[in-house]
Structure 1
Amino acid sequence: MQTDSTCNNFGAALKAVRTLKRLTQEDFGELSSRTYVSTLERGLKSPTLSKIDELAEVLGVHPLTLLTLAYAKNPNRVATSLVIQEVDLELNGLFKGG
């Protein structure tokens, strides 16, 4: 379920990774306009899965990295590890019977 805070968290994750990678909003020009990237970073819009994939490609990270940072809500190693552990447990439970 997506909430406004999830959208804001995705935008913050996108901006954090973009900044750490020393990329500008203009570096996404082939993918989308600077205005669109700015809109995402401010949490005004939410991207589709295919757009997340494209953004991650420009950033040079796996799409799940962006999503993990967004759902961690506090981009630090402990918070992201907890999200990854939760997903791992859920996946193990889903595939346990298979």
Structure 2
Amino acid sequence: MDSLSKRFGRRVKEVRCSLNITQEQLADMADIDRGHMGHIERGTKCPSLNKVEQIAKALNVQEHMLMRD
């Protein structure tokens, strides 16, 4: 079973790609360092709740949508 971080990162990438947004654009929109965003999407870093909120707002989705499989 994948960790929550990996599932979250995979979902962020899925939503981002469906919106045709680059990882760099999302990082800028969410005010998150580009390198850190890469780690979040790969599931190698666990984002804080504040970062989860920033990412969700940038993607225009509710936070719980990024937590589901």
Alignment TM-score > 0.5, same fold: yes
Match of 2:28 in 1: 29
C-alpha distance in structure 1 between counterparts of 2:50 and 2:34, whole Å: 18
In percent, how many aligned pairs have the same letter?
A: 33
Q: Which runs of 5+ in 1 are unaligned?
A: 73-98
C-alpha distance in structure 2 between counterparts of 1:48 and 1:33, whole Å: 14
Is 1:20 equivalent to 2:31 in the alignment? no
* Of 23-32 and 47-56, the range deviating more from structure 2: 23-32
SS at match of 1:7: helix
Match of 2:56 in 1: 56
Q: Which runs of 5+ in 2 are unaligned?
A: none
Q: TM-score, normalised by structure 1?
A: 0.62
Aligned partners of 1:17 and 1:59 also within 8 Å: yes
**Which portions of structure 1, spanning 4 or more consecutive aligned residues, are displaced by more than 6 angstroms?**
none
| One-letter code aligned to 2:42 | R
Deviation of 1:16 after TM superposition, in Å, equals: 0.5
C-alpha distance in structure 1 between counterparts of 2:64 and 2:20, whole Å: 20
Deviation of 1:48 after TM superposition, in Å, equals: 1.1
Q: TM-score, normalised by structure 2?
A: 0.85
Could you say what the CA RMSD is over the residues aligned between the two structures, in angstroms? Answer: 1.7
Cα displacement string for residues 24-83 of structure 1 (whole angstroms, at most 9, x for unaligned residues): 111122511211111001111011111101001111111111012xxx3xxxxxxxxxxx
C-alpha distance in structure 1 between counterparts of 2:4 and 2:64, whole Å: 14
